[in-house]
Amino acid sequence: MELKLKPISIAGIAEAISKTEVYRYLNEPGEAESICRDILAIEPANQAALRLLGLAITDQFTGEMSDRYVEAERVFRGLTSEYERVYHRGILQERKGKAQLQAGRPPHAVLPIFEEAMRLFAEAEKTRPADNDDAILRWNRCVRLLQSRISSEWSKEMEEFDASEGPPV
């Protein structure tokens, strides 16, 4: 058997994009990623496929060294809209931070990731399309997530970190 990828048709791109969204909703990011790569093989600048590919990659983050942060950032930098580029890099940082939290990383390691996400969301907010509050919604989610952590053991560790000007020992 020959192991060779088959190209999809240009006429099938719209349906393939729809399938990608469905697979993401079904929490099957590997399937979504594969479809995006098929689309990009025949239409490398397809903005929807680039956006969905980056999101499918971030859907797979676990907080481990194997996470493909650099690849996702490279994909998002390929978006032509300044707003989309900055906004999706903010999502990348937010999801990286959430994955790091799930993996049990300490606050002093995770907080700067969320700060970068929030910086990017604030930057995206400046160039957002009219009636598009996505960057504000993501900013608020980061704030609520951090507020929920600050009232827990996080505040104790952060106080120790600030006092020692380094990670707790």
Look-up: residue for tokens 């995206």?
A: 124
- Residues 143 and 121: their CA atoms lie apart, in Å, by 12
pLDDT in tens, 45-100: 999 999 999 999 999 999 998 999 999 999 999 999 999 999 999 999 999 999 99
Question: Which DSSP symbol is given to 12?
Answer: G
For residue 5, the model assigns a pLDDT of 94
Kindly state the tokens that stand for 113: 């990731």
Q: How confident is the model at residue 107 (pLDDT cuts 50, 70, 90)?
A: confident
- Residues 124 and 120: their CA atoms lie apart, in Å, by 6
For residue 108, the model assigns a pLDDT of 87
